[in-house]
Copies of this chain bind each other. A is one copy, B any other.
């Protein structure tokens, strides 16, 4: 069916709502080579998924993701479920020749992620299917601009990366246990949920892999109220902290936590290079801080670039300069880039291999934390 890209989505909660908005919106603002169709959405409860479909604009519903994957009228499977089901769904979808967009983290374990990356490579060779992992923050215009500046050499050799993803929704010890606090569903806590973004951004921005880490993990509140009654253990980390080295010799310091009082969604990253430096904070996502050592020290200083100029990535499709974008635009940009890659027969980024790379770093963090923080190489 030339000219369209028929999408089936699994999961319709927070992430699903964001993805659906992006599938609807991208063709309204970007000239896409394929027109996305919101063909079907899948969820376990028939009533709830029907309500979600109506609200989000899906034409049809399924209650079994296997049925969704088998449908002939679907070209792409968009996986918005918790991490424990990513591998199974993605493998099936790729085997069925579907393109796949999978939410981050790619999987809960390295073994799963390896299987997914291998499957992606096979599906590409066999069917031309494309697979991408949803590190949407790469598509913040200010972040894309930051990557461009590094790639152009404006920072020179990178010396330091400090990255934190800070939230505070667990700071109250009476906040209840949810699936996000159970290892069997979420894999890990702050590490996979927040740390994964920080690791991906750090590798994306520098263009360098993290080669080793030394880490600590912490669960400050070991058990919490169970909404079903009583208390239940928290089996994931509340916070993660680690030092790291990058392929080019830079030193990294990372932190991910749900206990950073007053920080709501502060994914902050600073990159210091021999020729310049960058600062970004997701809570002010339209702004990029840039220090240029080429400037005379008399007038040098961190400048606040409002990344809404027509020259800035994605910005020309939206509003005049100074009219700011929000969180959900990152998903719309992700759809744009993915659809363009699929139409061009090119590999979308980040690939499953890149998602696996992040997973290996997270795994090394967990290993180091279990073994007295000893330096742990990230294997490829």
Kindly list chain B residues whose C-beta atoms are within 8 Å of the C-beta of A283: 286, 306, 322, 324
One of B262, B282, B309 near A302 (C-beta < 8 A) = B262
Q: Count A interface residues, CB 8 Å.
A: 94
The CA-CA distance from A288 to B169 in the complex, in Å, is 21
**B301 to A274, Cβ gap below 8 A?**
no
**B243 to A241, Cβ gap below 8 A?**
yes
Kindly list chain B residues whose C-beta atoms are within 8 Å of the C-beta of A96: none
One of B160, B321, B372 near A239 (C-beta < 8 A) = B160
**B262 to A300, Cβ gap below 8 A?**
yes
Q: Is A284 in the interface zone, CB < 8 Å from B?
A: yes
A202 CB → nearest B CB, Å? 14
**A303 to B300, Cβ gap below 8 A?**
yes
The CA-CA distance from A321 to B283 in the complex, in Å, is 10
A241 CB → nearest B CB, Å? 5
Kindly list chain B residues whose C-beta atoms are within 8 Å of the C-beta of A173: 274
The CA-CA distance from A155 to B329 in the complex, in Å, is 35
Kindly list chain B residues whose C-beta atoms are within 8 Å of the C-beta of A20: 28
Q: Which residue of B lies closest to A56 (CB)?
A: B28
Contact digits for A286-305, partner B, Cβ 8 Å, 1 yes 0 no: 10101111001111111111
The CA-CA distance from A57 to B145 in the complex, in Å, is 31
The CA-CA distance from A251 to B255 in the complex, in Å, is 10
**B311 to A297, Cβ gap below 8 A?**
yes
A251 CB → nearest B CB, Å? 5
**A169 to B261, Cβ gap below 8 A?**
no
The CA-CA distance from A290 to B325 in the complex, in Å, is 23
**A290 to B299, Cβ gap below 8 A?**
yes
**A264 to B321, Cβ gap below 8 A?**
yes
Q: Which residue of B lies closest to A308 (CB)?
A: B264
Kindly list chain B residues whose C-beta atoms are within 8 Å of the C-beta of A164: 162
Q: Is A83 in the interface zone, CB < 8 Å from B?
A: no
The CA-CA distance from A36 to B243 in the complex, in Å, is 46
The CA-CA distance from A304 to B283 in the complex, in Å, is 11
Contact digits for A226-265, partner B, Cβ 8 Å, 1 yes 0 no: 0000000000000101110100010111010101111111
Kindly list chain B residues whose C-beta atoms are within 8 Å of the C-beta of A286: 283, 326
Kindly list chain B residues whose C-beta atoms are within 8 Å of the C-beta of A284: 284, 324
Kindly list chain B residues whose C-beta atoms are within 8 Å of the C-beta of A292: 299
Kindly list chain B residues whose C-beta atoms are within 8 Å of the C-beta of A373: 214, 243, 373-375
Q: Is A215 in the interface zone, CB < 8 Å from B?
A: yes
Q: Is A218 in the interface zone, CB < 8 Å from B?
A: yes
A178 CB → nearest B CB, Å? 13
Evaluate whether A251 and B300 lie within 8 angstroms (CB atoms) in the complex, with A326-B326, A327-B324 already known: no
Kindly list chain B residues whose C-beta atoms are within 8 Å of the C-beta of A55: 28
A237 CB → nearest B CB, Å? 11
**A306 to B301, Cβ gap below 8 A?**
yes
Q: Which residue of B lies closest to A284 (CB)?
A: B284
**A243 to B214, Cβ gap below 8 A?**
yes
Q: Is A328 in the interface zone, CB < 8 Å from B?
A: yes
Q: Is A272 in the interface zone, CB < 8 Å from B?
A: yes
One of B171, B245, B272, B324 near A293 (C-beta < 8 A) = B171
The CA-CA distance from A265 to B275 in the complex, in Å, is 18
